[in-house]
Amino acid sequence: MANEGLASTYANAVFEEALAQWLIPLRTVAASLKPDLVAKLDDPALTFSKKQELLKPCLPANTLKPVENFLFLLASKNNVALLNDIIVILDRFAQHENWGTTAKVTSAIALIDSEKTAIETKMRAQFGKDLAFEFVVDPAILGGVLVRVGDKVIDGSVAGKLAALQEKLK
Residues of the chain with pLDDT under 70: 1-5, 8, 95-100
| pLDDT in the model for residue 35 | 94
| Secondary structure in 3-state letters for 26-73 | HHHHHHHCCHHHHHHHCCCCCCHHHHHHHHHHHCCCCCCHHHHHHHHH
DSSP 8-state code for residue 100: G
Distance CA 146, CA 138 (A): 10
Q: What is the average pLDDT score of the chain? A: 87
The 3-state DSSP class for residue 151 equals coil
DSSP 8-state code for residue 108: S
Q: What is the dihedral of CA 119, 121, 123, 124, to 10 degrees?
A: 150
| pLDDT in the model for residue 1 | 45
Distance CA 21, CA 63 (A): 8
| pLDDT in the model for residue 97 | 46
- The whole-model pTM stands at 0.55
Distance CA 150, CA 102 (A): 7
Task: Compute how many other C-beta atoms are within 10 angstroms of the C-beta atom of residue 35.
Answer: 8
Task: Compute how many other C-beta atoms are within 10 angstroms of the C-beta atom of residue 72.
Answer: 18
| pLDDT in the model for residue 98 | 40
| pLDDT in the model for residue 106 | 94
The 3-state DSSP class for residue 160 equals helix
| pLDDT in the model for residue 108 | 92
